[in-house]
Amino acid sequence: MHAVDGVSLSLARGEMVALVGESGCGKTTTVQTISGMVTPSSGSIQLDGAEIVGLSERRLRPLRRRMQMIYQDPYESLDPRFRVSQTLVEPMLIHGIGGSRSDRARLAAEALERAGLAPAGAFLDRYPHELSGGQRQRVAIAAALVLGPDLLLADEPVSMLDVSVRAGVLALLDALRRDPGMGILMITHDLSTAAHFADRIAVMYLGRIVEQGPAQTVVRAPRHPYTRALLSVVPDRDPRKAGTPQILTGEAPDPANVPSGCRFRTRCPVAEAQCTTADPHLRFPSDATDPAHEVACHLA
């Protein structure tokens, strides 16, 4: 079974790329592979041009410091026995940074305030159960920031949070990618969030990227039927502009038994005969207005 197949992504410092798709499409496997938690059977992953695949644990560890992960569920990702201060100091101890005890305490307080929990003194001695969901996610972000990462891998960072605090956490991530200038790869199933915050969007279906390009191009001029279906169910703020939602029928196929030809053909409303035999690969549509817009569809 190929959980992820032929995915190719690039991410620059200061850029946010959103990986969008429904559950089970391979988004999480992709970021786990980038972070080294899953070993790819083939392919290449490079950080600042240096190959990561195949490195020993000893050589991978310093690179792990530069690639930090934010998990979906802040109720599970924080150790309930650790005060906030311990949660922030532990990664520094593991990676041998921060110098003295007082230096680490200072760095922890700075990271907490950069993550929006100020004054830090009001939070450092608390346990996770004394924090709200949004505050927990900010602690998780601060625990990543103390290591000074170049790349933040955010796996559905707001999907478990109340709607009222989502915007604040997303705005924090948006600010962080500009200052200090880190790349953020954000997984989300919410195309409207991706459109608002990301520079580029990559849409995944059944382990493959089926459309990618600048966020506004993908959202305003989607070319893949799957992207169009996802966008059709995004509610518009103006109810008068509400279109007809295009509800996809059936479940996504079993990744162990991928359909012949186009992977999306069993659910595609415009599939043609050629779609059962020829597997479309990402390419620039002939009439594309944006040269960075790629689509994997015979009809694009």
Give me the residues that bind ligand SF4 (CB under 6 A), please: 224-225, 262, 264-265, 268, 270-272, 275, 280, 297-299
202 Cβ contact list (under 8 Å, min separation 6): 9, 17, 18, 19, 20, 209, 211, 212
Q: Which is nearer to ligand SF4, 243 or 269 (CB)?
A: 269
CB of 25 to ligand SF4, least distance (A): 14
CB of 269 to ligand SF4, least distance (A): 8
Query: Among residues 23, 25, 42, which one has the least CA distance to residue 33?
Result: 42
CB of 285 to ligand SF4, least distance (A): 11
Q: Which is nearer to ligand SF4, 17 or 206 (CB)?
A: 206
Q: In which element (H, E) is residue 201 found?
A: strand 200-205
Q: Which is nearer to ligand SF4, 162 or 272 (CB)?
A: 272
Q: Which is nearer to ligand SF4, 114 or 224 (CB)?
A: 224
Q: How crowded is residue 91: how many other Cβ atoms within 10 Å of its Cβ?
A: 20
Q: Which is nearer to ligand SF4, 44 or 277 (CB)?
A: 277
17 HSE (CA, 13 A, CB side): 22
What are the distances in angstroms from CA 24 to CA 38, 93, 210, 253?
16, 35, 15, 10
CB of 21 to ligand SF4, least distance (A): 14
Rounded Cα distance, 76 and 128, in Å: 10
CB of 298 to ligand SF4, least distance (A): 4
Read off the tokens for 22: 């429904």
